[in-house]
Structure formats: C-alpha cells, structure tokens
Amino acid sequence: MAFWRKNMPVEMFLRSGPDWHLDGKGEHTFEAFFEERGLRPEDFDPIPISVFLDYTEWFRERKRLGLDERLVTGLTKPNAAFVATMDDGTTITADKVLASPGIGYFLNLPEWYAEVPAARRSHTCELVSFEALAGARVVIIGGRQSAYEWATLLCDHDAAHVDVVHRHSMPTFAKVSWRFVDQYVDQTLTHRGWWRGLPVERQRAIAAEFWQVGRLTLELWLVPRIPDAVVTSHPGVRWSPQRSANTT
C-alpha cells in the first residue's frame, strides 16, 4: 500500500465503495472490517482513504502477512532459482516471483513539463498535501477525477484561484455504479486467460465501459466543493509550452 500512503492525498476520497476489497476468498472483506469495528458503511459515502488504509492494515494482520519495506533493485535468474537484490545489498532467492510493482511506473509527464520551473510544478502523484498552496493561484492541466479532486482539495486549503484546463469538453458529474466490474472480476477468477481469449471487439467494448464510468464521468460529491468563485474550468483548451513560458 506504499503508493496509497505516499502518493495520494491524505484527505482524498475513494471512488469505489465498501463492496470492493482485497480478499480473493471473500473472507476478510471491507464489509467484514466495518462489521468487526462496529462501523456502518453508509456513514462513509464517499469513503475517506484513511478508512481504506485502516482496512488494509486490518487485512494484513488478519492474513498474518509480513511486511518488508525494502526496495527490490534487481532481479536475475543465474540458475534454476531467481535472485532478487534489495536496496540494502542483501539478496532473496526464490523459485517463483510474482511482480506487482503497480501504477507508479505509469507516471506520464507531458513534453513541456521540464520547461516549467521545478519549484512551481507538480504531478498529482507528488502533490499530496496542499497547505503550502493557501493563497496561491494554481493551474491544473487535465480534467478528469484527479484534476477536479485536486481542485477541491486546493479550495479546501484556501487557494486563491484554480484554473482547470483540459483539451476535452466538460466531464459529467454524476453518481456512478462500478457494479458492472463484478462480472468481469468473477470471469477473471474462474476462467484462466478469460480476458486474453476475448474477441478484440468485446475487449474494446469493455474498455469503453470503463472509460464511460471512470473517465467521462466524475464523482457527484465533488460538485458542492468546487465554488465557481474560486475554480474556473477551461474545456477545449490545449496547454502549450508557449503559454506556460508566458505565465508566472
């Protein structure tokens, strides 16, 4: 959960609900955590990230999972076994390796990013606390959930003005259901290679479903936290290096 702890704002809310959990066996679910703690899921809508992180820690304890916080810096297979080198120089030898290094490596920086002075720019991965931006004028490039949630968090921390600039039109703010995903998760669990075996058209249709719910639609609970007096949206606008060079 290092990414959740270090690269997402402490005050962020989840898009997913209490029915999404970590346990493939369906035993130590998020709902089981609520029940054991005497909490009611309906009191957490949307769910603060802190509640989910408490759940993951509870899950780890219940599953008796050890935690090794070292970084794997290299992986080789000199013979029948794998050898992983850790950042403290020690190694771990194993017959099998499951690599799940996650979403951090998909960070995508636009070409002009390097042209903006380092002290004045941040990727959403890096900008996870907002106190220092009280009173600041901020421009957010991008217009999906992260962009608008970061705008609300800036408002919560008294930014003077926030401009949200995006190439696409205004997204829709609506209550969405992620229930459609359940059937695909079930298929993935019961039929090995299910996704890979689907016809390309079917894969595209499923991807479009995710796009519609996750990207074209943003969470309705953002709306009351985005005051018109502070946040200005600029749909259909492409941010260019020339513009950034002229902007302080």
Ligand X SMILES: Cc1cc2nc3c(=O)[nH]c(=O)nc-3n(C[C@H](O)[C@H](O)[C@H](O)COP(=O)(O)OP(=O)(O)OC[C@H]3O[C@@H](n4cnc5c(N)ncnc54)[C@H](O)[C@@H]3O)c2cc1C
Strand 82-86 relative to strand 91-94: parallel, antiparallel, unpaired?
antiparallel
Residue nearest to ligand X (CB): 102
Q: How far is the CB of 181 from ligand X (least distance, A)?
A: 9
Is there binding between residue 193 and ligand X (CB under 6 A)? no
- The torsion of the CA quartet 38, 52, 100, 60, rounded to 10 degrees, works out to -30
Is there binding between residue 29 and ligand X (CB under 6 A)? no
Interaction residues for ligand X, span 52-71 (CB under 6 A): 71
In the chain, count H helices and then E strands.
Answer: 8, 8
Q: Per CB under 6 A, which region of 9-17, 135-143, 190-198, 215-223 contacts ligand X?
A: 9-17
Judged by beta carbon, residue 72 or residue 136, the one nearer ligand X is 72
E strands, 98-160, are: 137-141
Is there binding between residue 152 and ligand X (CB under 6 A)? no
- Backbone angles phi and psi of 94, in degrees to 5: -150, 150
Is there binding between residue 102 and ligand X (CB under 6 A)? yes
Instruction: Report which DSSP code applies to 224.
Output: G
Take residue 213 and report the two structure tokens written for it. 């719910």
The residue written with tokens 């000199």 in the block is 78
Judged by beta carbon, residue 38 or residue 101, the one nearer ligand X is 101
Which positions touch ligand X (CB under 6 A)?
Answer: 2-4, 8, 14-16, 20, 71-72, 100-104, 146
